[in-house]
Amino acid sequence: MHDRRTTLRRLCLLVAGGLLLCVLACRTHVRYYRFLPVNPHGWSCTDTLRFELPADTTSSLNTFSLSARVTEQMEYQGLWLVLEQRFAATPSLQQPPPPRRDTLFIPMTRENGRWETSGVVIHEAEAICTPAQTIPDTPLTLLVYHIMPKQEISGVLEIGLKVE
């Protein structure tokens, strides 16, 4: 009886340790996640959102994702956004690389007009934009703007940037 309890206890500890290891291994490391508001009267194509990613001590490969929070006033089935990456000149980096621009489409509705996003009053959608290498000890400025057919679009509340 005593050996059976010891074996059962060890088995439970092993299973609990395995589950804990699985949970910790599945977590992603979010380095930066922030939303910035858009002009509530309309987001102009010249209204650029500016995110500042602080410098890290080592170079790392990061995945950039963009999110959009919109209302029912959104006139389009999705948003075309540009993510521009600009490294700052630092004492260790005299000549920063040229800006890098990536274009991303975030779908909001299906072809039949039904929302494809989460939310009831405010709808939110996210799409992975691009992986990119950071430069050690160099801050990164990330600019986001839209390239929609109209110069000014309504219904967009906030744009978010996630760096993993």
pLDDT digits (tens, 9 = 90+) for 1-54: 567 777 666 665 565 555 444 444 454 689 899 999 999 889 999 999 999 998
10 Cα distance to chain centroid: 42
This prediction's pTM:
0.78
Which of the residue ranges 24-33, 77-86, 99-108, 147-156 would you say has the lowest mean pLDDT?
Answer: 24-33
At a CB cut-off of 8 Å and minimum separation 6, what does 71 contact? 121, 122, 123, 155, 157
